[in-house]
Amino acid sequence: MKKTTKILGYFLAVILVLIQFYPTNKPLTYVNNPNGLLENSQVPNHISNLLKSACYDCHSNETKYPWYASIAPLKWLIYSDINEGREELNFSNWNTINKEEKVDILDDISTIILEEEMPLKKYTLFHSEAKLSLEDRENIANWSELALENLYE
Ligand code: HEC
């Protein structure tokens, strides 16, 4: 190896070690979510399974972290997606939001799921269990439209 390449390699390795010490707040997880959607609403099993495997890591308090989510700089990107995702929609807080917000979210879900905007592509790249078939997407869209109608009953 050329000397400069070697020095650059050491330099990068040191940086990689050093950034591990940079303090970051890992989004907390909770097992018990008394205000959660699934805890309070009758969601069909096949839909709740899809939501859990394709959405819950970013849109609930029940995030399951893979091992690489503890490593900087990857964890910075992962934590920021989770924080942003939970801010937009947190299924664990479903009972705490008002009817208008629920309407907005359910309406958004049926649109973005058919347009294949969610789950994020960079996520399904590492989570094959989160890949949704067209049928899955249609089922989720139908469920969210029905749940929206039920809010007005
Ligand atoms: C890897 C994390 C991740 C996963 C998995 C994920 N989302 Fe998201 N979601 C986000 C982020 C980040 C945002 C906010 C930024 C954006 O809209 O792209 C978001 C935004 C949303 C929004 C609001 C969109 C808008 O424009 O108002 C909805 C609704 C949503 N997600 C639904 C879902 C559903 C349903 C699933 C599962 C099928 C899912 N998401 C899976 C990270 C995720």
Average pLDDT over residues 89-117: 98
CA of 10 to the centre of ligand 1 (A): 39
Average pLDDT over residues 98-113: 98
Residue 135 is predicted with a pLDDT of: 98
CA of 74 to the centre of ligand 1 (A): 19
Q: Which atom of ligand 1 is least distant from the CA of 55? A: 37
- What DSSP letter does each residue of 81-131 carry, written as one string? HHHHHHHH--GGGGGGS-HHHHHHHHHHHHHHHHTT--S-HHHHTT-GGG-
Q: Structure pTM?
A: 0.95
For ligand 1, atom 26, which residue shows the shortest CA distance?
Answer: 108
CA of 150 to the centre of ligand 1 (A): 23
Q: Is the CB of 85 under 6 A from ligand 1?
A: yes
Q: What is the pLDDT of residues 1-32, one digit of tens each?
A: 789 999 999 999 999 999 999 999 999 999 99
Q: Which atom of ligand 1 is least distant from the CA of 82? A: 2
CA of 144 to the centre of ligand 1 (A): 14
- Average pLDDT along the chain: 97
Cα gap 83→110, rounded to integer Å: 22
Average pLDDT over residues 45-74: 97
Q: Which atom of ligand 1 is least distant from the CA of 109? A: 29
Going by pLDDT thresholds of 50, 70 and 90, the confidence category of residue 153 is: confident
Residue 1 is predicted with a pLDDT of: 72
Angle between helix 45-54 and helix 134-150 axes, rounded to 10 deg = 110
Smallest CA-to-CA distance from 27 within 59, 52, 73 is with 59
